Amino acid sequence: MVMEVNKLIAELEEVKEKNKILEEQLKKYQNNKHHIKYYENNTDKVKERAKKYMEKIKETNPDKLKEWRHNAYIKRKNKLKDEITIENNKL
């Protein structure tokens, strides 16, 4: 019993160490000052790439585009309902 507990504690420490390492690696890819600065300097390029990607999706997978638009519609609808209920609760 004691051996199993010690093994679990050791395994937990290993997992915590791996988690720390992965979090450090993830920080490289999250929005940081370099990404923001790049976007500010290359706004037109970024928008053009996004536009080309949307055109590509229209041609290759229009169902995916319909799904995205439907999800956006549902989110807008839910957000509007929430705002109305908040306003009604205030009154």
- DSSP per residue over 19-74, as a string? HHHHHHHHHTTS--HHHHHHHHHSHHHHHHHHHHHHHHHHHH-HHHHHHHHHHHHH
pLDDT at 1 (0 to 100)? 83
pLDDT, one tens digit per residue, over 21-35 is: 999 998 888 877 888
pTM of the model: 0.52
Domain ranges of the chain: 62-91
Cα–Cα distance, 74 to 68 (Å, whole number): 10
